[in-house]
């Protein structure tokens, strides 16, 4: 057995003197004992509470003996697809199979099945007919009630029913898994575990269900998309641990799926404890021969400082998974973790990230949240910051200063995302200045997502004017501190609400900026987001108003091509998009045009690549010119030098 790691096979279990494990964790990811991996946190939490647990990582789902490695656990099986939904892990937004899997040794694709939670759970049930099965992780959490499944283009039942499992733990799960373990250990039958916050169970009778909101039945949801939109919004308004109600979703006359209210957020001391467990902070040594697990490289020298997000972006599932109330770790806890890896032989002096879903959220958005919860029908930052919002970066500033002073640390980066509208809402520029001075390396990535206010409204993002003000201030501060640093905006195409008109508007913005992004994210309809509900139903569940939805793959390709209009490969798509939008004024030789007409011989002329002033900015060239353009420029420069000589 590898010292310090939890058992991965029967021999490990026997070497530890364990005759029967309390729990067996079945995961779609390889075993990585690092707090950025959900299976590591849940297993170490159980271990800290006195339970024995082993992991079967990426079992062969075609062979039921692979699930029998440890034999039958005393208390139950825990099943998760891993850190990602298995379908997102496997397929791009165009439903094409991905080539690599960062959570598998060597990055090999195909080591887990599609809909992994359902497949693993059914595999277990073939062998162990009565052993409790508890689902967890992101795939189960976001599919806990009826949900739209993009890959099959259908409304699916609760994953609890299709999997044959007994119980589902949603959210981060530390509180609920301990309560579940204690209940099972005390002799309570898994079918009687109907009282644990943060869980979902199934029942044939409503006799024991109290204080609940009954949602429309599954048959009604399938028959009418508008009914589903209203049901989804009811779920969305009940994701808060303080104000959320118990929800019941009927499946016929004698089967009900019951979602208990969310578990309470962890206190700071509880968060500290979770991250203080004896993680090995790397993948299991048995994967070394295959090249290790690629995903560890992004998190090995990073720090998770918070959970939750009150940003409320429509396309993000965090509201359903981690919730809107911020939970943080203490400075002492973060410094202690950093103190472990700054002496690592592979540490080069760079802490890659200090953050969470949103890096610069370090406290609840207002004082009311910890007593009354987040507002059901209002957002903290959208459409503009709430008057009760507590905008304060002081604690984060102090934390970053302490980390910068640690030995062996050359630079502390912030890569998990800055909420720029929250930065702009802060009247004190100290954080903004220190961000530019110490925590950016040439480029700062931010997520305006779009420039059209019509689309931004559906996204739950601030008006474009806020981002424009941020860019000006960013440029001004960098000039004052004598640094040449740039913004790299994350942009999204084909989000609900984006017609060809808005797509062209985004292309014009990029033209004026002198920037063509090398990567563009098409909107990806993943389970349990407001945007996915819009995509499926054609209405915004917040106001039930119709929303234009780009669903046709060709139209989506055109919207994407407009963002990368300078790429010659996109010429035909861009031309078609401009014709469809009635914007042929953007085809020509003028400085405002996106593309030029084809020459008489049928060849396509080069794209303008110029800004509104008719000149290509040197700073933009330096930062954003594509690889092929840089190569050609180098060849030209060499040729000029030879000519001069």
Q: Are residues 44 and 157 in the same domain?
A: yes
Mean pLDDT value of segment 33-47? 97
Are residues 520 and 371 both part of a single domain? no
Does 189 have pLDDT greater than 60?
Answer: yes
Q: How far apart are CA 261 and CA 516, in angstroms?
A: 45
How high is the pLDDT of residue 601?
61
Whether 1 has a pLDDT exceeding 70, the answer reads no
Residue appearing with tokens 């063509």 = 516
Q: Residue 439 above 70 pLDDT? A: yes
Percent of all residues in the chain with a pLDDT value above 70, rounded to a whole number: 93
- The reply, when asked if residue 375 is annotated as ligand binding, is no
- 527 is a domain residue: yes
What does the pLDDT look like over 394-408, one tens digit per residue?
999 999 999 999 999
DSSP 72-101: --SSEEEEE--SS-HHHHHB-TT-PBPSB-
d(CA 178, CA 468): 47
Whole-number pLDDT of residue 637? 56
Q: Which residues of 285-320 are buried (b: 16+ CB within 10 A; e: fewer)?
A: eebeeeebbbbbeebbbbbbbbbbbbbbbbbbbbbb
**Residue 216 corresponds to which tokens in the numbers above?**
């429309």
Same domain? 380 vs 511: no
* pLDDT for the residue numbered 600: 62
Cβ count within 10 A of residue 530: 26
CA-nearest of 104, 117, 48, 109 to 77 is: 117
Give the CATH number of the domain where residue 364 resides: 3.30.750.210
pLDDT tier at 98, thresholds 50, 70, 90: very high
Confidence of residue 643 (pLDDT cuts 50, 70, 90): very low
Q: Are residues 420 and 529 in the same domain?
A: no
C-beta of residue 534 within 8 angstroms of C-beta of residue 458: yes
Which whole number is the average pLDDT over 189-195?
96
Bridging pattern class, strands 443-449 and 486-493: parallel
Give the integer Cα–Cα distance in Å for 295 and 341: 17
527-577, pLDDT tens digit by residue? 999 999 999 999 999 999 999 999 999 999 999 999 999 999 999 999 999
The 3-state DSSP composition of the chain as helix, strand, coil percent (nearest 5) reads 40, 15, 50
Q: What whole-number percentage of the chain has pLDDT above 90?
A: 87
Comparing 277 with 639, the larger pLDDT belongs to 277
- Whether the pLDDT of residue 638 is over 70: the answer is no
The reply to whether 241 falls in a domain is no
Residue where a domain stops, chosen among 135, 160, 194: 194
Phi-psi domain of 515 (left: phi exceeds 0; alpha: psi -120 through 50; beta: other)? beta
Domain count, the chain: 3
Average pLDDT score over the chain: 92
Burial class (CB in 10 A: 0-12, 13-18, 19+), 618: exposed
Question: pLDDT tens digit string along 470-523?
Answer: 999 999 999 999 999 999 999 999 999 999 999 999 999 999 988 888 778 999
Position 622 scores a pLDDT of 38
How far is residue 37 from each of residues 32, 296, 319, 356, measured CA to CA in Å? 7, 9, 19, 13
DSSP state of 130: S
pLDDT level of residue 240 (50, 70, 90 thresholds): very high
Residues 94 and 172 placed together within one structural domain of the fold: yes
pLDDT at 636: 52
Q: Do the annotations mark residue 366 as ligand-binding?
A: no
Closest CA to 147 of 157, 161, 139: 157
How confident is residue 604, by pLDDT bands cut at 50, 70 and 90?
low
Question: Is the residue at 63 inside a domain?
Answer: yes
pLDDT of residue 287: 97
Residues 374 and 479 in one domain: no
Confidence of residue 453 (pLDDT cuts 50, 70, 90): very high
Task: Specify whether 513 is located in the same domain as 416.
Answer: no
Q: Is residue 25 part of a domain?
A: yes
> What pLDDT does residue 628 have?
45
**Same structural domain for residues 348 and 479?**
no
Query: What's residue 623's pLDDT?
Result: 37
248 located within any domain: no
The Cα 299–Cα 36 span in angstroms is 7
Return the pLDDT at 572. Answer: 96
**Pair 365, 482 in one domain:** no
Is pLDDT at 615 greater than 80 in this prediction? Answer: no
Nearest partner of 491 among 446, 539, 435, judged by Cα: 446
Asked if omega into 383 is within 30° of 0 (cis), the reply is: yes
pLDDT tens digits for range 297-346: 989 999 999 999 999 899 999 999 999 999 999 999 999 999 999 999 99
pLDDT of residue 609: 45
Separation of alpha carbons 63 and 119, rounded Å = 11
Give the global pTM: 0.91
- Domain boundary among the residues 165, 194, 223 is at 194
The length of the chain, given as a count of residues: 645
Measure Cα distances from 162 to 114, 119, 237 in Å: 14, 9, 25
Cβ contact 332:273 at 8 Å: no
Residue 126: which pLDDT band, with cuts at 50, 70 and 90? very high
The gap between the terminal CA atoms of the chain, to the nearest Å, is: 68
Q: Which residue, 561, 579, 596, sits at the end of a domain?
A: 596
| Domain presence at residue 77 | yes
pLDDT at 607: 53
Confidence of residue 208 (pLDDT cuts 50, 70, 90): confident
DSSP per-residue letters across 317-359: -HHHHT-SS-EE--HHHHHHHHHHHTTSTT--SEE-EEESSST
Asked if residue 632 has pLDDT above 70, the reply is no
CA neighbor of 307 nearest in space, from 480, 210, 174 = 174
- 468 found inside a domain: no
Q: Which residues of 191-200 are buried (b: 16+ CB within 10 A; e: fewer)?
A: eebeebbbbb
Mean pLDDT of 441-468: 95
Question: Taking a C-beta distance cutoff of 8 angstroms, is the pair 540, 582 a contact?
Answer: no
Quote the DSSP letter at residue 78. Answer: E
Question: Is 9 annotated among the ligand-binding residues?
Answer: no
Q: Shortest CA distance to 515 belongs to which of 471, 459, 469?
A: 471
Domain that holds residue 417: 301-441
What CATH number does the domain containing 501 carry?
Answer: 3.30.750
Q: Is the pLDDT of residue 634 over 70?
A: no
Task: Examine the domain organization and report whether 312 and 410 are in the same domain.
Answer: yes
Same domain, 435 and 542: no
pLDDT at 417: 86
| Alpha-carbon distances, residue 185 vs 45, 70, 74, 175, 178 (angstroms) | 16, 19, 9, 16, 10
Q: In terms of DSSP H, where are the helices of 267-315?
A: 268-274, 296-299
154 is a domain residue? yes
Q: What is the mean pLDDT of residues 34-41?
A: 97
Cβ-contact 73, 28 below 8 angstroms: no
Q: How would residue 372 be classed by pLDDT, with cut points 50, 70 and 90?
A: confident
57 and 142 assigned to the same domain:
yes
* Predicted pLDDT at 598: 85
């Amino acid at each position: 057995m590898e010292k310090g790691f939890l058992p991965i096979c029967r021999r490990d279990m026997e070497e530890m003197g364990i005759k029967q494990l309390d729990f067996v964790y079945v995961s779609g990811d390889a075993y990585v004992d690092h707090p950025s991996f959900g299976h590591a946190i849940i297993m170490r939490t159980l271990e800290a509470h006195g339970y024995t647990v082993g992991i079967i990582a990426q079992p062969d789902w075609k062979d039921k003996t692979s699930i029998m490695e440890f034999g039958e656990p005393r208390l139950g099986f825990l099943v998760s697809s891993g850190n990602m939904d298995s379908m997102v892990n496997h397929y791009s937004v165009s439903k094409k199979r991905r080539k690599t899997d960062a959570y598998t040794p060597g990055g090999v694709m195909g080591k887990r099945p599609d809909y992994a939670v359902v497949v693993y759970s059914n595999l277990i049930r073939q062998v162990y007919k009565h052993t409790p099965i508890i689902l967890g992780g992101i795939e189960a959490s976001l599919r806990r009630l009826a949900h739209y499944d993009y890959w099959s283009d259908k409304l699916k039942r609760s994953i609890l029913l299709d999997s044959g499992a007994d119980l589902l733990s949603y959210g981060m799960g530390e509180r609920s898994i301990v309560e579940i373990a204690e209940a099972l250990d005390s002799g309570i039958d898994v079918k009687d575990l109907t009282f644990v916050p943060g869980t979902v169970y199934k029942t044939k009778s409503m006799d024991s269900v109290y204080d609940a909101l009954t949602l429309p039945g599954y048959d009604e949801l399938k028959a009418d998309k508008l009914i589903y939109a209203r049901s989804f919004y009811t779920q969305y308004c009940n994701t808060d641990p303080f104000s959320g109600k118990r929800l019941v979703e009927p499946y016929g006359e004698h089967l009900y799926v019951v979602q208990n209210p969310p578990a309470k957020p962890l206190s700071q001391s509880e968060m500290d404890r979770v991250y203080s467990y004896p993680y090995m902070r790397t993948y299991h040594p048995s994967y070394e021969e295959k090249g290790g697990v690629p995903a560890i490289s992004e998190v090995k020298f990073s720090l998770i400082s918070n959970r939750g997000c009150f940003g409320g972006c429509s396309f993000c599932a965090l509201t359903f998974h981690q919730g809107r109330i911020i939970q943080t770790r203490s400075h002492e806890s973060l410094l202690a973790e950093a103190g472990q890896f700054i002496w690592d032989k592979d540490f080069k002096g760079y802490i890659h990230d200090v953050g969470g879903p949103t890096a610069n959220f370090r406290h609840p958005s207002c004082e009311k949240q910890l007593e009354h919860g987040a507002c059901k029908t209002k957002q903290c930052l959208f459409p503009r910051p709430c008057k009760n919002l507590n905008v304060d970066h002081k604690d984060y500033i102090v934390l970053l200063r302490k980390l910068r002073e640690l030995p062996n640390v050359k630079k502390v980066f912030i890569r998990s995302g800055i909420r720029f509208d929250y930065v702009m809402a802060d009247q004190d520029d100290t954080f903004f200045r220190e961000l530019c001075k110490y925590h950016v390396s040439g480029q700062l990535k931010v997520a305006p997502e779009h420039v059209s206010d019509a689309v931004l409204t559906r996204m739950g993002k601030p008006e474009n004017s806020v981002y424009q003000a941020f860019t000006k201030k960013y440029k001004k501060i960098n000039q004052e501190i004598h640094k040449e640093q740039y913004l790299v905006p994350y942009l999204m195409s084909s989000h609900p609400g984006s017609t060809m008109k808005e797509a062209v508007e985004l292309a014009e913005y990029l033209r004026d900026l002198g920037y063509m992004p090398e990567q563009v994210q098409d909107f990806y309809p993943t389970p349990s987001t407001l945007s996915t509900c819009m995509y499926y139903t054609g209405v915004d569940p917040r106001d039930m108003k119709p929303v234009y939805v780009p669903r046709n793959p060709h139209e989506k390709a055109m919207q994407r091509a407009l963002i990368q209009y300078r790429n010659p490969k996109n010429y035909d798509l861009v031309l078609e998009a401009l014709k469809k939008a009635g914007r042929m004024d953007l085809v020509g030789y003028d400085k405002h045009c996106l593309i030029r007409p084809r020459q008489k011989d049928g060849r396509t002329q080069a794209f303008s690549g110029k800004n509104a002033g008719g000149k290509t900015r040197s700073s933009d060239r330096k930062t954003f010119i594509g690889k092929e353009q840089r190569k050609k420029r180098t060849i030209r420069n060499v040729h000029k030098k030879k000519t001069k000589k």
